[in-house]
A and B are shown apart, each in its own frame.
Chain A
């Protein structure tokens, strides 16, 4: 067990190092002169070459690739995300503010998704192939094909522009979160319904269940000891998938609804070519993603002993 966890941790460490290296290499080789971009952003004017060179030295852009990489990763390991190349301010406090905007939105989206999909999947699987089931599957298929940005625009069009019931842009009042959360939540609901539906059907269709029943095992015990563990595996998978979906959705939704948050922070940092900020968001995403997947991997092995045997 300890060996297993050690090998999984080593794997995560290798992956994160690779991800950091890939990110850094991408930004290092980005076209255009980052020093010039920073100088222009900083002084809001056309700047002479000497100033650009000075900025280049200050930002460490004239260093060798590996030196620069070390200069970035070293502080990163102790949680220092560096300074914005445009404003010179520390990235971390700003990042925390952005997370405080994004987290409620993502949670609200997830809750809306769960509240829609769990009852829908439950009702649908009561009679597989029935009209309710077909409707649920059709809705989920259509939902999975609707891009978040279009759904968001349609919701704005209907509820903010035509009906005037809800505010759309910004974060001034608590009501401002309804439309963006709905956009995220409906997307989550579409993918969750499909996964939950097939998970429940598969768990109920296990061939050993009738055998237990005939042997006189109580229905409650079967549900607890045999159906639940089988249904739990897809549920765990769902969390990995939904995390990816939420992170992607947040980028689009925040841009559409002009909300501050990690997604709009990332897009505006890319546009301003403020690479320390871009790196910070990317690394944060990767750490979150890899950690959650590591946990999922461990839970899988706890839930399903067969997985551990196959691939340690």
Chain B
């Protein structure tokens, strides 16, 4: 993309936010604004577009410290509500991943398993202010003599607890169908046989990374809405694909960009941090993420003007192709078609079922809009670009 003419800088936008004069629209309103007034006028009139998504986000977890009380301990094994944490970091630092399951979970022994409680649920419980059972075991050293520790802890008791998510906010995702003759249970939800339903995720035109498809403004240091509190983008997420196949608007045609984020759990709201159980698959965390996009120029106005009809996503068979690594796309419906509740795949009509809450995604974008309008949330300049071509 050629450098578009700058209309305003982030510094100027922040000045307007401080004065309470910034024009802030959510991403759906911006789609309408660009459609009605054109990108040039929209670039002059709008300062910030707020995006939002609320979806299961695997590759999330909590980095925390449990503090010490004498005699001190160097934890070797740790569990929270019987969910194993990774304690091999230091004495009392640990990491709990959202897909980690109870020590004695029956898993898929009687398929499909229910996976009622996992790492994501511990995180939700902590954010709700509930006490969780901390269990630690150690071998004891001269400097850390204690060998066992068991007590109830709340989020307030933890000296440090942050979400540190290696991969969130997938830019586009597969639409899942099942071409086998039995029902299957996947991370894309239950899929009925013979392609009777097509499950899809993402928040469409509200999705953060569809509104800045080439990562012009989102990078290390971008301040965001994370789980109802303030968070930060740390850079590209794991599995980030900088070179997807793109359409004429620069939107990826398949899953591609991802971001790594972190945020203090103590400022979060459990409405946007939900432990989830996927029958037959496992546990995860549904998380609300909202990213503000500064409208620096016409190009950013054009990008944020994206509507559901511009976005298309690949339909993939999770019965045979996905588990076997076969790269085959059965259809490429638009997000607007998916929202209509029915898509066509190989000439057959298939019911389209959402997995991401569009209602809460909009709520996230609106909340972020309120924060910016009130002057309490300023935009930040990315300090390192996330590669995207």
Are A and B genuine complex partners?
A: no
